[in-house]
Structure 1
Amino acid sequence: MSDKDIVINNIDAGKSFNWGKTSKDYAKYRDIYPEEFYQYIINLGLCKDGQKCLDIGTGTGVLPRNMYKYGAEWTGIDISENQINEAKELANEAEMNIDFYTCDAKDVNVNNASLDVITACQCIWYLNHGITAPKFAKFLKDDGSFLILYMGWLPFEDEIAGKSEELILKYNPKWTGCGDTVHPVWVPEEYLDYFKIEKQEEFRVDIPFTRDSWNGRMRACRGTSASMTSETFIAWENEHVKMLEEYPEKFLIKHYISIAWLKKR
């Protein structure tokens, strides 16, 4: 079974993308959140000590795998079978007992009032909020939490990030995942019928990369391998690798982290 292309009208002008095409690079190059990202969640009192947590759009399981040491019980779902296969392999290699399933968020089904926390990291804009908002509220315990999490690079403040974006747009002008600035992560209004915003915060981080790992991070991007033809992708990557030769082997890329903590009404 191969992953299906996804089309969302307000993303990339309706151009299709497929996360399954990125899975090998995603597994290798997108496990980049700094420790302060995870510690922030722990400091909220979430995703720890036996709490039951569901990670929506888990990808290769980056969030559950990195937070496993804090003692929560994790399940991760993703629409991409390739992503879930990578997540299972990485968790098994690390001897982590995490349940991963291939499933669209709108179709997920768990026992009512059984979860302490639901997380959605880097994926809130892909969900069908009219369906998922009441579902998530139903799945959570009375004091349950929904965490919307995001980390993005800052192209107007970081030269390498900016030039990398320009190059993606040269080959994929419909890509809308560009031009980010520090701002609160989006909380779709549908969730406010079921949740109240407990806290929203943004903070800056510098993430270390090598030329290879930054090129890998760009390959595991919706605007490149997930949506380009193979010929276009090769041309883009050749030019990106050449561009990176102008910079040191190791560098920092300016990012910011944005978190919204919602509590069930």
Structure 2
Amino acid sequence: MGSAEVRFKELRADFGKTAEDYGRHRAGFPDEFFERLASMGIVRAGMRALDLGTGTGTIARGLALRGCEVTALDRSEPLMEQARELDREAGVVVNYVVAAAEETGLPAASFDVVTAGQCWHWFDRPRAAAEARRLLKPGGRLVIGHFDWIPIPGNMVDATEKLIEKHNPKWKLGGGVGIYPQWMAGLAQAGFKNLETFSFDIDAIYTHEAWRGRIRASAGVGASLTPEAVAAFDDELRAMLNDRFAEDPMRVPHRVFAAIGTAP
């Protein structure tokens, strides 16, 4: 298998380098995300589900906990090892496959739902959308999900993003609003029908220690900087939190977003 490195503009990142922090400290998609999908009839027990770019399995595990038969794939074996450990703790079993989202090697028309959480921007999106359509049964759904922190001028997230940019100028993922209307054009071009979206806001609770771990597990820090640079960043983040954002644990604003298309 080739490198698990992913690229976005000038940034190159390998989340396998930060798998332990990723597994321990990245808040997974909240229950409300899965409840919304269930209320829309997109997820229900007995469905065959595939999670692309699964990472540490946050969506795959959520689907398995709701009775789906889940296959999950990623190019990073270290991340999926973390996923298996978290699955054991949760009491579920997921079938993990080392493969690329654009070329899974899985049989056509074999899934009721295909999901991609927090990873669509890393893919060759036209190829990934075409592959998802190939894998879905007629009437099956593709769900592109995001669960993003939300920077507001002056808040702790905004200050953290400025610190990442200071230590890694190649990181260009800051300033987001957590909503991705551009994904809809790609779904339409791939032939998906009945396109729809939803979004809602929720606070994720992080201790100072957990937030530092979460940021070490981000593309701009642990996945792309040297260990020495990560340590220097972490020291500065710790000092900043102690000096400017003393609340511990902290309520960190996040936005859940989903773009959904139906395979014809």
The amino acid across from 2:56 in the alignment is T
1:54 paired residue number: 50
The amino acid across from 2:121 in the alignment is: W
Q: Is 2:232 the partner of 1:235?
A: yes
Shift of 1:224: 0.5
Per the TM alignment, residue 5 of structure 1 is displaced from its structure 2 partner at its CA by: 5.7
Query: How far is the alpha carbon of 1:59 from its aligned partner?
Result: 0.3
CA distance, structure 1, for counterparts of residue 222 and residue 109 of structure 2: 39
> Matched residues in 1 for 2:240 and 2:222: separation?
18
Q: 1:98 aligns with which of 94, 99, 102?
A: 94
TM, length-normalised to structure 1: 0.92
Q: 1:33: which partner in 2? A: 29
Which position in structure 2 is the counterpart of 1:127? 123
- Residue aligned with 1:204, SS: strand
The one-letter code sitting in structure 2 at the alignment partner of 1:241 is R
Query: How far 1:15 sits from its partner (Å)?
Result: 2.9
| 2:76 counterpart (80, 86, 104) | 80
Runs of 4+ in 1 over 6 A off after TM superposition: none
Rounded Cα–Cα distance in structure 2 between residues aligned with 1:176 and 1:197: 32
- Contact kept in structure 2, 1:57 and 1:105, CA below 8 Å: yes
- CA distance in 1 between partners of 2:79 and 2:32 (Å): 25
| Superposed CA RMSD | 1.9
Q: Aligned in 2, Cα 1:204/1:83: closer, same or farther, shift over 3 Å?
A: same
Change (3 A) 1:234 1:185: farther
User: Which amino acid counterpart does residue 232 of structure 2 have in structure 1?
Assistant: A
**Which one is further off, 31-40 or 142-151?**
31-40
Q: Deviations 1:174-210 (Å, cap 9, x if unpaired)?
A: 1011001253454163431320243112211111111
- 2:39 match: 43
Deviation per residue, 1:199-249 (Å, 9 max, x gap): 112211111111111111111110100001122111100000111113121
Q: How high is the TM-score relative to the length of structure 2?
A: 0.92
Shift in Å at residue 23 of structure 1? 0.6
Worse-superposed segment, 177-186 or 205-214: 177-186
- The 8 Å contact of residues 133 and 191 in structure 1, kept in 2 or not, is answered as yes
The answer for unaligned runs of 5 or more in structure 1 is none
- The one of 198, 214, 219 aligned to 1:217: 214
Q: Over residues 131-188 of structure 1, what are the superposed CA-to-partner deviations in whole Å (9 max), with x where a residue is unaligned?
A: 2222211211111000010011111256110111111111001101100125345416
Q: Please give the per-residue CA displacement for 1:112-146, whole angstroms capped at 9, x wherever unaligned.
A: 21110000100111112332222211211111000
User: Any idea what SS the aligned residue of 1:111 has?
Assistant: coil
Cα distance between partner residues in 2 of 1:124 and 1:41 = 18
Please tell me the residue identity of whatever aligns with 1:78: D
Identity score, percent: 30
Deviates more, 1:234-243 or 1:182-191: 182-191
The amino acid that maps onto 2:40 is L
* Structure 1 residue 7, shift from structure 2 partner: 5.0
One-letter code of the match for 1:260? A
**What amino acid is aligned across from residue 207 of structure 2 in structure 1?**
T
Q: What's the CA shift for 1:66? A: 2.4
Instruction: Name which of structure 1's ranges 98-107 and 157-166 shifts more when overlaid on structure 2.
Output: 157-166
Match in the other structure for 2:109: 113
Q: 1:177 aligns with which of 136, 150, 173?
A: 173
What is the number of residues matched between the two proteins? 261
Q: Match for residue 6 of structure 1?
A: 5
1:13-46 alpha-carbon deviations (Å, 9 max, x no partner):
4232111011101110113432212211211212
Give the letter for the 1:219 counterpart.
Answer: R
SS at match of 1:136: helix
2:234 partner letter: E
Provide the secondary structure at the position in 2 that maps to 1:85: helix
